[in-house]
Structure 1
Amino acid sequence: MDGNLKVDTAGHLDWANVAQAGGNDLASGSGDDSLKGAEQDPVPDITDGSMGIVDGSIPPSKSDLKSFGVYLEPDSPGFLHMFWVRVQDPSGTTNMDFEFNQKRCFTGDTSGCSSNGSTPMRTAGDLLITYNLSSGGTSVSLWLHRWVTSGGNVCEDSQEGGTATSGSAVPVGGGCWNVGVNLTSSGAATGSINTAAIPASETDGLSTTGFDPRTFGEASVDLSSVFGTSCFALGGVYLKSRSSDTFTSALKDFIAPAPVNISNCGSLKIIKKDDAGSFLGGVKFKLFRDDGDGIAELGTNDVQLKADGTAGAFECVTTSTNGTGNCIWSGLTFAKYWVQETFLPTGYTIVGDNPRLVTVNSTTQVVVNITNNRAPASLKVKKEDDLGNPLKDAVFTLYTDNAPLGPANPRDAANVDTITTFTCTTDVTGVCTISNILPAGPYWVVETTTPSGYTTAADQHVVLALGQAGDITATPFVNPRQHKVIVIVCHEGTNTLAASHVTIDSSQKTSLGTGATLPSGVTEAALCGLGGASYGGINNHPTKTATIAVGSEAHP
């Protein structure tokens, strides 16, 4: 508070560089208007409790107003700045009343006007901030009053700050300003008045001649001391002057209401997604107002809230359409809140703190983005031969099954179904597990590497859910053993085995020779007597070329 309107320090705020709400009074003289009665006086001919309007000039030596302004400096929750300008310094005390109303009554919106057509109807929770300065003094006293209509409240008496027994009860069916709170003494507000003349160049265009000493005053109020525990929004403000420092003294001049937007009503919305960025439905949340200590005491010191911000049980559910569903809370006063995730679908895990603490400190909706990680699936497979023996070193790979889906439609690797990086290799037990499978859905399990000497098994189709530990070892992949060629060379004269070099596909081996260990009961003569593909008359140790084609009667 510097008692002027100019920006004294670069980068700072003052009236000259902010967009304030406010207005100018009618010109002094017979065309000016004023109020009749006092702040607490009923007006018999106006049933809504509004004050009467009279025409004519302000009495001499009283506060004839010229202008006023209001500026809300946002913060957590912010500061409310006010100024007033009057025609001259009266001989007595300075008493200005800034009235803030929830209903609106000004050009462009007369929806909340009282029957006098100039001031708004008062509503429980409206605010009155009084600016009081003794004659010749510089120490401003600022008081806060609330309009009350019931609930055991007491009306302010003639001296601001009266006790609960000094004032009168709220009139039945009416209302009054309650006992005031001294904002100045509590450190919640400060004010000043200009002690020297302000040149016209420093009046922010409000005057062409400048301001005389003690004709400009300003005040700042910490909004945390103004906002109560209930959500409310103020839509208009106007300025009044009083004849003395007695709260019940006569009202004098006023400047018509101007629109403002001062509110402690916030809202909160949850948007739920998975780690792939898809909206996630079916997740449930609760909201609790922190009691100010930042410690989660849900349901005890921290009160649970319904969707409208009032106390009560409420559990919202998100949808996959927008990740929000009905997880929106309105009517939240500026405070800290605990967001608790109470249920999430199978296959997802919570990321970060639960509950988590969020802050609502403005009328801008707070959007809480919460992610749930998808739990990857796994799949256990088994590999064996046609005798049930486990096979090592078989590699299995998942293929994503795209439409047309299996298992009725076989895998189409060339055009539709795509290979993934999810693989495993069987161990000596013939078993391996494919891990960290995402996303969930249909897959083909394909044997992409087959052990030597075995035929590749057919594909298998699976559908995996998030977090599922799939196991298809009960239906193992079977690799039939392939065919074997045994070459026996016999000496026809002796019916004995003759060791000989045999080469098939560049692999050379030596056949059994005479004296080799044979199975019990099997003789060399018996082997040499076998028929089938038997060729005789081969003399003089020649090299012969053979072609072997596995017949159709062989096991596949």
Structure 2
Amino acid sequence: MHTKIRAQIGVTVAVLALALSGAPASQANLAGSGFDTGDGNLVVNDEAMDWANAGINCSVTTGGCGIDLPTGQGDNSFGNGTKEDDAVPTVVNGSIPNNKSDLLRFYTKMTQEGGKDFLYLAWERVQEPNGTTNMDFEFNQSKVTSANGVTPVRTAGDILVKYDLSQGGVNPSLGYHEWITTGNPRTDCEASNTLPCWGTVNALTGFFEGSINTVEVVDPIAPDAPRTLSVRTFGEAAINLTDSGIIPANTCQPFASAYLKSRSSDSFTSAVKDFIAPISAGASRCGTINITKVNDDSPASALQGAVFTLYNDFAPVGTAMGAEDTAVTPATTCTTSAAGTCSFTNVPIGNYWVVETTTPAGHDTAAPQQAVVGAGGTVALTFVNPRDFKVIVLVCSEATNSLYPSQVTLDGSSPAKTSLGAPPSGMTAAQLCGLGGAAFDDQSYGSHTAGVTIPQ
């Protein structure tokens, strides 16, 4: 994959050491995060994580890395005065924007730390600007491409994170907009007078940390690594998605794709310029529980109509379900199909109990099972329902060929049950007494020991 490289390709050990040692000292991270986006570089200094060890892979679109097309007639950008509110931006080739807007690469990573979701962003451009810096990261729920064949179709709830630096400034200002399809455009849209549009800006003050490089830094991420980045050609940020209200806590991956674009000025109505094509926004942090429901026949047969309820498990793994376990919402239940299957999807990582709450007729209820759901994982559970059988005991008087009501127990059941003393409508006692089968003649008054074996 090609990149646009302004710095010399051959980086000597001395230059590399200078770039690393000249990086600003690490600052305190955004509260709750172990990722350092306050030092304006990509290497690990005194923090737990930086871009160098964040698991970024630029060779695949799912690796959190987007690389722009090489500068030239084959490079693409937005044209014809395309604005942020244009649902289908106009894509043109060969019309490269000015240097401050010509992008090189972007990185994005979403992680969960301490029960909260954090989003990490970084951008690189061709050369140091003379004016303001305006970058917009768009996160879409859909991967379906729009009519331009490149950018995704927008859905209500998509997010646009804007990353702005005033002229000559080094401290970024961040805010976000939400794509809206209903409401009053005069009051609900940031700039447009029609729907759909990007809604009014939401401040991220107190919920983000950001910085740019004020000295040369090295990007150690392949391909073409290491690469020297000149002053003010790299910017990064961390956003607390949970506390800022962008997404609720314990949400599955809400976005399918992400891409970066540059804006010509700090006005939201200004034209958007260069862009880097969308990449995957990251793997889902939720999993799936697949249920198979069968009876104990040999071979087993699928059971339709069994209802299962999913419960949160706050007890350690292996501990029986207790009163502290509560039903999960939404998608609390699933019902087995004719194939005997159903699923709980988009289940956040954690421990759960799956409980059969409605059992198909003629079967015993299966015991609850625990499911430990990991990010992106699938848990397969098979519930076996033993078939129920009815044992009917008839006691007949051989002399009169009539039913004789008697006390019957089975497997120590209590209290004893009384056998039929009269035939049901439409039948005679003689018919019942003549059925044969497991008939034992010449029995006397008193208790008798009996055994019943029901085969598989």
Whether the TM-score (by the shorter chain) exceeds 0.5 is yes
- Distance in 2 of aligned mates of 1:168 and 1:11: 40
Which position in structure 1 is the counterpart of 2:42? 5
Q: Deviations over 1:68-106 (max 9, x none)?
A: 1233447778544332111222233322111233454xx
Q: 1:136 to 1:367 in 2, by over 3 A?
A: farther
Q: 1:167 to 1:95 in 2, by over 3 A?
A: closer
Residue 24 of structure 1: which of 63, 67, 72 is its match?
67
- Distance in 1 of aligned mates of 2:146 and 2:202: 28
Which position in structure 2 is the counterpart of 1:67? 105
- Distance in 2 of aligned mates of 1:41 and 1:283: 48
- Distance in 1 of aligned mates of 2:160 and 2:147: 17
Deviation at 1:193, TM superposition (A): 2.0
Deviation at 1:253, TM superposition (A): 2.0
TM alignment of 1:349-368, pairs within 5 A: 351=367, 362-368=375-381
Which position in structure 2 is the counterpart of 1:171? 194
Residue 182 of structure 1: which of 203, 220, 225 is its match?
203
Residue 122 of structure 1: which of 147, 151, 154 is its match?
154
Which position in structure 1 is the counterpart of 2:52? 15
Residue 307 of structure 2: which of 285, 289, 294 is its match?
285
Q: 1:246 to 1:341 in 2, by over 3 A?
A: same
Deviation at 1:240, TM superposition (A): 0.7
- Distance in 2 of aligned mates of 1:14 and 1:33: 27
Residue 342 of structure 1: which of 339, 342, 357 is its match?
357
- Matched-pair contact (CA < 8 Å) for 1:195–1:214: yes
- Matched-pair contact (CA < 8 Å) for 2:350–2:373: yes
Deviation at 1:285, TM superposition (A): 1.9
Which position in structure 2 is the counterpart of 1:97? 136
Residue 123 of structure 2: which of 69, 75, 84 is its match?
84
Q: 1:169 to 1:318 in 2, by over 3 A?
A: same
Deviation at 1:208, TM superposition (A): 6.1
* 3-state SS in 2 of match to 1:89: coil
Q: Deviations over 1:449-474 (max 9, x none)?
A: xxxxxxxxxxxxx34499xxxxxxxx
Which position in structure 2 is the counterpart of 1:252? 273
* 3-state SS in 1 of match to 2:229: coil
- Matched-pair contact (CA < 8 Å) for 1:286–1:304: no
Deviation at 1:210, TM superposition (A): 0.7
Deviation at 1:23, TM superposition (A): 3.2
Larger radius of gyration: 1
- Distance in 2 of aligned mates of 1:79 and 1:275: 47
Deviation at 1:169, TM superposition (A): 7.5
* Residues matched between the structures, number: 348
- Distance in 1 of aligned mates of 2:147 and 2:216: 39
- Distance in 2 of aligned mates of 1:103 and 1:318: 29
TM alignment of 1:203-222, pairs within 5 A: 204-206=222-224, 210-222=228-240
Residue 141 of structure 1: which of 162, 173, 182 is its match?
173
Q: 1:267 to 1:348 in 2, by over 3 A?
A: same
Q: 1:199 to 1:297 in 2, by over 3 A?
A: closer
Residue 35 of structure 1: which of 65, 73, 78 is its match?
78
Letter in 2 for 1:213: V
Deviation at 1:194, TM superposition (A): 2.1
Letter in 1 for 2:236: E
Q: Deviations over 1:242-261 (max 9, x none)?
A: 12333223322222333455
Letter in 1 for 2:95: G
Q: 1:272 to 1:79 in 2, by over 3 A?
A: farther
Letter in 1 for 2:199: N
- Matched-pair contact (CA < 8 Å) for 1:3–1:216: yes
- Matched-pair contact (CA < 8 Å) for 2:293–2:336: no
Task: Kindly indicate whether structure 1 or structure 2 has the higher relative contact order, using CA contacts under 8 Å at least 6 residues apart.
Answer: 2
* Same amino acid, percent of matched pairs: 33
Residue 236 of structure 1 pairs with residue 294 of structure 2 = no
Letter in 1 for 2:127: Q
- Distance in 2 of aligned mates of 1:184 and 1:359: 37
Q: 1:222 to 1:407 in 2, by over 3 A?
A: farther
- Matched-pair contact (CA < 8 Å) for 1:6–1:203: no
Letter in 2 for 1:328: S
Q: Deviations over 1:428-457 (max 9, x none)?
A: x97779xxxxxxxxxxx5xxxxxxxxxxxx
- Matched-pair contact (CA < 8 Å) for 1:287–1:337: no
- Distance in 1 of aligned mates of 2:72 and 2:304: 69
- Matched-pair contact (CA < 8 Å) for 2:260–2:275: yes
Q: 1:228 to 1:50 in 2, by over 3 A?
A: farther
Q: Deviations over 1:290-342 (max 9, x none)?
A: 8x9x97776xxx75648xxxxxxx761377xxxx7242244667899885532
- Distance in 1 of aligned mates of 2:296 and 2:48: 43
TM-score of the pair, normalised by structure 2: 0.57
Q: Deviations over 1:136-166 (max 9, x none)?
A: 444433333332223x2658xxxxxxxx567
- Matched-pair contact (CA < 8 Å) for 1:148–1:170: no
Letter in 2 for 1:325: G
RMSD of aligned alpha carbons: 5.0
- Distance in 2 of aligned mates of 1:137 and 1:375: 77
Letter in 2 for 1:133: L
